[in-house]
Each structure stands twice: as structure tokens, then as C-alpha cells.
Structure 1
Amino acid sequence: MPHRNAPLTETGRLRLARCVVDDGWPLRRASERFQVSPTTAKRWADRYRALGEAGMSDRSSRPHHSPRRTPARIERRIIKVRVLRRWGPARIAYLLKLNPATVHRVLTRYRLARLTHLDRATGRPIRRYEHAAPGELVHVDIKKLGNIPDGGGHKTLGRQAGRRTRSGVGYSYLHNAVDDHSRLAYSEILTDERKETAAAFWTRANDFFTRAGITVRRVMTDNGACYKSHPWRDALAQTGVAHKRTRPYRPQTNGKVERFNRTLLDEWAYAKPYRTEQERRDAYPAWLHTYNHHRGHTALAGQPPASRVPNLTGQNT
């Protein structure tokens, strides 16, 4: 495709070349007529003499020879280390005594997937998916989070002082449910991860999705004990929802809720030095509302989850 500022298209080049070669125009006259330099007019005329109409198309700008390109032997070593050890450019460069930028260019040239796109156990690219409609699949998980002692932890007091206040503060358990299609999240901070607690959470989560106009058809969880229990099974049965478990030792299968867990840690739990656990908990509903209604999601083309939900009222609990 010609550059947008190029004075000649392929048709224009052919017309110029025919004027010079077939009609006998002088180069200067042809260059003035087509608003190009005499050098350009000569180039297209010469190509037309040698190749005919086929010579009017663009050629690759790739050089015929690249004497400074990384030797093929080094490229093979880079690729071998990447495939076998699944290292990034910096670590490969240290091992092979190369510049990290050189390693990165080689990996890019051969279109090797980013490490974040690979399964850690097998090294194969992760097959990413997204269900076509809200409610077709909801991801559920529990995130265990250490409580903040009164007066603050190490982020407020410093690492040494915070270590002395750490013991005995206990844990909070964030029960999270994330819709696969819209990424709409329902979350509660609870005191444990027992089977009765998880079952009651799902009942409230399902009510939340129902109020938003979403009919949940299937739920995916890991293989935690609470998700194998009779109360959990009964809670799903009462709402007519099918249950699917992830493969053992494959948390990425439940990746959307795992990503939500990481987001809440970065943007809420550890976003500021809270002085008490209650202060952090009080900030959670506002953050969750922002996540659902205002925070742009990269998988949704910069739109918030609410943009994909038919009847979201704006109330998050």
C-alpha cells in the first residue's frame, strides 16, 4: 500500500511510465506533468521497461542483507532457553551474555508468546475465552486477607514496628463472584470460609445478579472443601445453577475471579496505609461500586462492567 503522502499510486506510476517509454516523453516533461522529480520518473520508467505492469507495485523495504543481525546460532540458543526454562529477555541475556534488547527483538521476531500468556506448568499458550452473554458462567473464589491491627501495620508504622503488632489480628475472607461476560463483581468480607458461609454467600450473590437482570446458569469454583460440601450443592440446586470445578492445580482456569482478586489487592487492600481494619472495610463498598460502574476494564475496550449489564441499579453491598 502506498504511503498516504505518496504522489503516485500504482495506476499513476503506470501512466507516467507509459508516457516515457511508449510515448517518448522526456523525463523532465513527465516529472513536471506528474509532479515528481526526474529521478522518480526515471525509476518507474526503468521498472516498466524491465518488468512491465508488474513492476509498478510496491516492493518490500526489507534489506537484502543484514550484516549486523544476530547470528542464527545465537537466535536458536535464545529460543531454546525461552522454551525450556520460560525465562524473560533479561534472564536469558544474563545467561547468554547478550543485550536484553537483542533478546527481546529475537523473541518478537519469532512471535513467541509473552510469559503471561503461557501456562506455567506446560508452557503452552493459555486459551482465553469469554462467554457470549451475562450469567452463562460466574466465577467464584475466596481471597484470604490478613487483618490490619489497630494503629496500623507495617505500611503505616514501618516494617520493624509493624511486625510487633502483627500477631493475633486474624484474617478476613473475601468471597467473590465475577460474571464471565461482563466482569460484574459481587463481593462480601466475611469471617471464615466454612461451607455454610460459602453457601449463604452464593444465595445472596445470586440475588444480586438476578436484580441486575442476569440469570446465572453455571458457576465455576476451585476444589476447595466448602465447594464440595452438601450445603454448597444444595444452594446451587435451589437456584437451578450447574456447578463446574477447575482442573486441579490450574487456578488460571478460574482466571477472571483470580484477576479480580489481584485487582482488589492493588487498588483497595494495599492502595493506602490504613490505620485500622475497620477503616479498610469501610472503604470497600465505594471501591466495589467504582469497579463495577466507573473503572475501565481492558478486556471491555476500556468500558466498566456496568456497560454490559442490562439492568444494573448501581447498588452494591
Structure 2
Amino acid sequence: MRNINNDLTLKRNYLSKYRFLIGEYEQVKRGEHPTFRFAKDFYSAHDTDARAFLKYYNLFKQTGNELDLLPGKRGPKYGSRRPSPEDEQQVLELRDRGCNKFEINSLLKQKANNFTPSPSGVYNILKRHNRNRLKPTDREVKVKIIKERMGQLGHIDCHHLSKSVIRGQNRKLYLLCVLDDYSRLAWAQVMEDITALSTMFTAMHCMQALKREFGIQFEEIIADNGPEFGTSASLNKKNHPFERMLMETGIKRRYMKPYRPQTNGKVERFWRTLKEDLIEDTIFASDDFYFKGSRDSLETIMAKGRAELVTVTKEFETWLTVYYPEKDDTWVTLWYTEKWTDKTGKKDSLNYIDDVLLKNGKIVEYKENVRHYVAKK
């Protein structure tokens, strides 16, 4: 088999093509070309880019060497941009403190020097020194936030919901949650956008609800550095809606370090709980949430009129109230835990939820596979 590793056919063809183009181009510039009057006609006819052609043409004119017409390798030479040992030592010292690549990048940017590697550059340095994986002894000692009373510190965060979270709709929705650090009491509210103004009003409603329901008055609030909450480096905090709201209500704002969501870990864990216990097993038919639950002995009230169910007690695990849709010949949802006594004196109960079919005020059928209830304030 013929060895083609040293075949220079492409090189010869490339140089031959450029010799022809240079001759044509110089004829055009002298006004002697029989076909092309302007250089743009020459570029268009030969389907070449003016910038690329002039780059190699001018380089060839300066050196007179035809090899300069050949395209060279792009980018810096291998190893020419390798950081110095002193710069790499800075990265390793920060790694000794348990910092990850994003934290090292952020800390080096704050120093008054020209060495600011990207997170990928930091990783490459750590990999060369076999420090890309932390050992248990190198891991950073985590500082826990422990408060002594309710309201001493509040956590706030925004969460993006899936566009398909509501059945039959495709729009962006967000959740904002305010959580008390000491008691873990949380209040969340749906938002249609996460602008600073919407965030300010929603946060104010959540804090007012926690104060009204549980008597929690926050002294400090901690949030990330997102634009909806404002950054610590901002010089115009008085004009930011969320920052101004905290100033007017006498609440101190605390800022998180970049790339440290663990600082706001309590509310981040709340999002996981909300997703696992509510959103993943839930059908939402509107902005009102539908929670799934369990069913108990619905057969005992089949074909009984609602007027025959005399309520004795109602037990709730949430702040919700009973809601009966006043509809006939349609599926409705019972979503409370209710104990009742019928006219015969027999006691029974319905746990949490069930989809039932009402006809003429009577429950005549129920769905075994569809069990949820609607949340109404």
C-alpha cells in the first residue's frame, strides 16, 4: 500500500491557487484586468472572503515567502499559556482550605493581580497536581447556622416550576418561599415572574402571613445574589424594590457568598420536599394546588345524599378549609378528613380525598385511580 503520509498534493494545489489569485488581484488593482473592474467583483467571482485573502496576501508581500500563504495552526503554542508555579501555588493553597473550583475562581478575581483563571482552568491545575478530588481530611469544615428563637433569621428563595405543571397550560410559573430558620415554618406563594418588583410584593405577603398566623417577625433575611433580590456589590440599593422593602420594615439583609447555595440550604431542602411530596404526584387543573392522598371506606356512603351526612368533627393537617363545589351530574372532589354520623346513628369517616360523581345530590360513583383534592383558601 502506498504511503500517503508525506503526500504534498494539497499543499501544491493550495499554493498554485493562491499564485493565480494574486496575479488576478494585482491586475484588478492596476486596472488591467479584462473582466473585473472592482475588487469586489474579483472576490465574488472566485467565492473568496476579502479579509481572508488580504490577510495572506499582505503577509506574503511582507516576507516574500510562499509558505506564508499556507494556513497556520490557530491559537497559542502548547504550553505558552501555562500559569507560573507561583500562580498555581495560590490555587493549591485555596484548595487546602476546601474550596471548590468556582470558589477559587471567585476569590482570585477579588485579588489585585492578573491571574484570574476560569473554573475550568482551576480544575486543570488541580488535576495536574492530583488535587481534583478532595480527601476527607481536606474537606471544608461546614459552619452551621443555629438560631435561638423564631424570627431571628429568615431564608428566602425563588424556585422555577415546570411549564406543564398546570394541566392544559404552558406558561412559566415560579414559587417564592420565606422560611424561618429556627422553627422551619415556611410560607410559599406562586408568582408569574421573578422581577424585583414582583419579588418584593410576594415576599412581603409571605412575611405578613407568617407574622399573622404564627407571630414571626423577622430580624434578618438571607437570600442569594440574584437580580430579584439584589447583589451585595450594588451601589444603588435604595432603588432596588426588595432591598428598599427590607430597609423600610427594619429587617437586616444578609448576603450569601457566590457559588455557596449551601448557606441557604434550609429553603433549598424545602424545594426538594415540595417536589417529592407534592408536585411529582399531583395534578394541577388551575393555579390552585391539587394534593393526592388516601381513601378510606367510601363504599359506606355510596348512594347517600349529602344531606344525610351530619358532620361531627373535621380534622385537617393543613390550613385548608372544606370546599364543596355546587355542581350536579359531574365529578367533584372531596378532600377533607371528616368524621360523620348518619341518620341511623352509624359513624364513619372519609380520609383526605376522593373524586366522586354527584347526581341529584347523591354520590353514585367514585374513581379508584384518580384521587386528589383542591386547595382553596
TM-score between the two structures when normalised by the length of structure 2 = 0.38
Highest CA radius of gyration, 1 or 2?
A: 2
Q: Comparing both structures, which one devotes a greater share of its residues to strand?
A: 2
Higher helix share: 1
TM-score, scaled to structure 1: 0.44
